[in-house]
Chain A
Amino acid sequence: MGNTFRKGLIGLAVGVALCGVAQAQEKTVVSFARFFGACEADFGKTTDISKSAGECGIITAMTNKFNAENKDVEIKPQIIEWGPYYDQLGARIIAKDIPAIAVMHEAVLGDFVKRGLVEPLDEGFKSVGVDTADFTAHGKRGVTFDGKTYALPFDTHSWLWHINLNLLKKAGLTNADGTAMIPKTPEETYAFAKKFKAATGKPYFVWCVANETAAYTRTFLTLLYQQGGNPFPKSEREINLRTPEAKKAIEFMAKLYAEGDIVPNTDYGAANQAFMNGDGGIMVNGTWLIGDMVAQSEKPGAALEKGYQTVPFANLYSKPATWADGHSWIMLKGGTKDEKTKKAALRFLKFLSDNDFEWARTGHLPTSQKVIASPTFNALPFRNSIGAIAKSGISLSPTVPRQFRIQEMLGESLSSVVLSKKPIDETMKSAEERINKMLAGAK
């Protein structure tokens, strides 16, 4: 009797185990390469996206929710640090260990498309109901090559002025409604900066100026685009940094720093600290900081308490324009082993697209026109004032190769003009030569 019972129990256990194995085998696994970090301790089990926060939290909750709602698919994140992300992705392609879905900056996408590594997604999007006509102008431009859509645009991130209203009020630089007075020309900016310093004894601006290249390039490109300038007037492989517009932009940056209107020697973290501690009036930084700054403005005793506002980088010349880039989701060729995996991956892309609003809570702008126009999005702090970037945001043409490398090289040269007071013409000539040499050799 005991023996029969034991045998029955073993049989049952084996049966259950086999069922489990069968169930596990039925799941289609979709590898999902991304940065944004891991935050399992805080959001590892969160499936209600609205309860998550920050880039890491929201993307983790999205993945959890999709996995919970789609029992036949498992989205398996493969997370890597942002800095070396593209190096690793390149290495993975060579090793034929290709993820099904991968995150990609739109500034980098062109390099991968040109090398024939990315799947066009128009048919796939049609099959799962992603409406490419709903993409914003900036989002669409960043993922479209020769009329084909190569990625799902997920956000537009851009360059803002984060403003300490408490200090601006002290300097008499606020309007009657309590909002900040925004300069409309470079001359007005200099005048505001002088007025601000006279009243507060502090620099008007906080920029990350030390150990930094991206911030310089973003500010420079914004100022250039606002004058109608184009860094690549002749061809996508020949940069021109000595146009009158380029010179004006650099002179503006250098003059502000030379005259003590920018907090000196701050890197990215120190610039944030300086702004939060009220060491300067306006910080030039990205959309991704809105949440942190709003949190500071709600802290009793903080320098930004009840005194924070953000606007797109002020329009100082004739044309409304701001540097912008975007995160997008791509499917690399060879990343899905069969049709079933491809369909599962496309379903996940559709899910990400449907939840674009949730991602916009990070501070980034959505790439769906419907979301941008929605009351829920506009009810988020300051989104109604920065929503215009979805139209005015400008990136380098997607066909310009090696854009991150250009950003670094250009940023190094701008930094040496601003910080080390190197002559503009000579430094920009040298930067032009180095960048064009690099571009000539780029695939």
Chain B
Amino acid sequence: MTKIAGKQFGDRIVLACVTIFALVWITPLIWVFMLSFKPNDFLMAHTNILFSPPFTLKNYNDILGTSAVSGWIVNSLIVSIATTFLTLIVASLAGYGFARTEFRGKSILFILVLAGLAVPEQAIVIPLHRMFADLDLHNTYGGLILPRLAAPFSVYLMTQYFKAIPKDIEEAALLDSTPRWKIFLRVVLPLSIPAQATLGIFTFLNSWNDYLWPLISASKPEMYTLTLGLAATQTNFAQSEGLGYLMSQAVFAGLPIFILYLFFQKHIVTAVAGTTVR
């Protein structure tokens, strides 16, 4: 009885803490959302009046009034979906290779892949940019997608996941002389759906939010992604003179991800929790 009462008390404490953390986390989001409906000139003087007038839809109208926005959304979708799809293919094949097959130099190759985890993006951005310039790939979808396919973490994640799948399942199929690629496609790949979901969601989010690489690779406005395009429309002192517009951009750019979350909430929570446990 005392044990149950103690557990209930503990649960309440946890619940209270979670509620407080959730409030702390959501307050800036509410602030951003409310400021996005305020006139810019009003916000120059007041940023703490959230729930009373004046309100305006002008900031959103300014975004939608930019004719290139729809093109930037399409570019972001093409780049994010293609990057996600191709990363899943590359990481799954590489991960399976490292987890289940034997070949000469496998350990060294895997160490090389892992070494990639230690190299920050900024360290390779100049040689990468020069390489893509030589290949004449800037201002193309290829230029925006290809660099993101070299994803050591993705390969590592899939390798570890494939290693955790019991070998017995494959061995039974191998005894039946089933070709390796068929085992991969029909037996192992379906079992790795949770890992694929995790990887897919994170890859999509990273790709959608990417700014640095599109900034230096896409210089033509028609090739801008949404993050780059929206940032380009900001005036020089937007943090003061265009705060409402800035906030509406944040809401607008986050909206597709929010909608995605509504549809795939269950998978995303499982994915995040799965990554944490793993």
Contact = CB atoms under 8 A, between A and B. Distances in A.
A35 B217 CA distance: 17
Contact of B219 (A97, A269, A292): A97
A88 B139 CA distance: 13
B220 A78 contact: yes
Nearest to B239: A269
Interface stretch (A39-47, A224-232, A431-439): A39-47
Which applies to chain B's interface (DSSP): helix, strand, loop or mixed?
A: helix
A302 B64 CA distance: 31
A95 B45 contact: no
A403 interface: no
Contact of A97 (B138, B239, B242): B138
Given A37-B234, A56-B235, A269-B243, 19 more contacts: A39-B62, A54-B235, A78-B219, A78-B220, A79-B232, A88-B216, A91-B215, A91-B216, A94-B130, A95-B129, A268-B239, A269-B239, A269-B240, A272-B240, A273-B46, A276-B45, A288-B237, A292-B241, A295-B41
A95 to B, nearest CB: 4
Given A81-B231, A88-B219, A94-B133, A292 B66 contact: no
Interface string A258-281: 000000000011001100110000
A87 interface: yes
A55 B236 contact: yes
Contacts, number: 105
Given A37-B235, A81-B234, A268-B237, A42 B62 contact: yes
Interface in A1-48: 33, 35-42, 44
Interface string B43-62: 01111000000000000011
Contact of B232 (A41, A80, A91, A96): A80
Given A41-B65, A44-B67, A268-B237, A273 B45 contact: yes
Interface string B227-266: 0000111111111111100000000000000000000000
A273 B47 contact: yes
Report the 7 A-B pairs with minimum CB-CB distance, sorted nearest first: A41-B65, A37-B235, A95-B133, A91-B216, A38-B233, A276-B45, A269-B240
Contacts of A296: 44-45
Interface string B191-218: 0000000000000000000000001110
A405 interface: no
Interface in A37-89: 37-42, 44, 54-56, 77-82, 84, 87-88
B221 interface: yes
B126 to A, nearest CB: 8
Most chain A beta carbons < 10 A, residue from B46, B61, B133, B242: B133
A92 B220 CA distance: 10
A208 to B, nearest CB: 10
A41 B68 CA distance: 11
Chain B interface bracket (under 10, 10 to 19, 20 to 34, 35 or more): 35 or more
Contacts of B44: 272-273, 276, 292, 296
Interface of A: 33, 35-42, 44, 54-56, 77-82, 84, 87-88, 91-92, 94-97, 99, 268-269, 272-273, 276-277, 288, 292, 295-296, 302
Interface of B: 41, 44-47, 61-67, 129-130, 132-133, 138-139, 215-217, 219-221, 231-243
A96 B239 contact: no
26 contacts: A35-B236, A37-B232, A37-B234, A37-B235, A37-B238, A44-B65, A44-B67, A55-B236, A78-B220, A79-B221, A79-B232, A79-B233, A80-B231, A81-B231, A82-B236, A88-B215, A94-B129, A94-B130, A95-B132, A97-B139, A99-B219, A268-B239, A268-B240, A269-B243, A276-B45, A292-B41
Contact of A41 (B46, B66, B129, B241): B66
Contacts of A295: 41
B138 A95 contact: yes
The CB with the most chain A CB atoms within 10 A, among B130, B234, B239, is that of B234
Contacts of A277: 45-46
A172 B217 CA distance: 58
Contact of B67 (A40, A269, A288): A40
B130 to A, nearest CB: 6
B232 A81 contact: yes
Contacts of A33: 219
A38 B232 contact: yes
Contacts of B215: 80, 84, 87-88, 91
Contacts of B231: 80-81
Contacts of A38: 66, 232-233
Nearest to B238: A37
Contact of B45 (A54, A288, A302): A302
Contacts of B242: 37
B233 A37 contact: yes
Contacts of B130: 94
B73 to A, nearest CB: 16
Contacts of B67: 40, 44
A295 B242 CA distance: 15
Contact of B236 (A37, A39, A94, A292): A37
A41 B62 contact: yes
B219 A92 contact: yes
Contacts of B45: 272-273, 276-277, 296, 302
A36 B235 contact: yes
A54 B138 CA distance: 33
A42 B46 CA distance: 23
B129 A55 contact: no
B233 A96 contact: no
A269 B243 CA distance: 9
B64 to A, nearest CB: 8
Contacts of A44: 65, 67
Contacts of B238: 37
A277 B55 CA distance: 20
A96 B134 CA distance: 10
A41 B234 contact: no
Contacts of A35: 236
A134 B139 CA distance: 40
A84 to B, nearest CB: 6
Q: By CB atoms of chain B within 10 A, which of A42, A99, A302 has the most? A: A42
